[in-house]
Amino acid sequence: MRLTVHLDTFDRVNPMAFAILWLDKDTRQWSREGHFGLDLPDWGALHVGCGNTLVCAPHGTTPVCALEGLDLNQLDGPFEGEIGRVQWCAEGGRSLISGHWRVQCIDVEQTEPETSVFATDENA
């Protein structure tokens, strides 16, 4: 299952700041599909626990942001239109910055991408 999640309302970073992330529930990876005003990698790893999803850089466990209430371990969720709070953690030395996340789309088809941004090879 793949989810498209829209992150926004980070007024303290930039009044127009947003990011659109593609989350792969099965591989626990994500990719950046669009963004403005937020500095984040092209892709990375997802860590799930305590009912939240941590969006991390490719080879790290420090979160770029935390999607509060987005539990990728749930069997019956998430659903399109589901919303919650996101804590932006990527601004080093600053306090957490709150915004919102919203599930825009859910894709349950098992299709192979034409090209993949995820580096699965150790030498990549």
Per residue of the chain (124 residues), give pLDDT as tens: 788 899 888 777 677 888 999 999 989 999 999 999 888 899 999 999 999 999 999 988 889 999 999 999 988 879 999 999 999 886 665 677 889 999 999 988 766 655 566 555 444 4
d(CA 63, CA 46) in angstroms, rounded, equals 9
Residues 6+ apart with CB under 8 A from 95: none
For residue 19, the model assigns a pLDDT of 92
Beta-bridge partner residues of 56: 45, 63
For residue 123, the model assigns a pLDDT of 45
Please state the domain extents for the chain.
2-107
For residue 93, the model assigns a pLDDT of 54
Identify which of 43, 35, 45 has the alpha carbon closest to the alpha carbon of residue 13.
Answer: 35
For residue 3, the model assigns a pLDDT of 86
58: left (phi over 0), alpha (psi -120 to 50) or beta: alpha
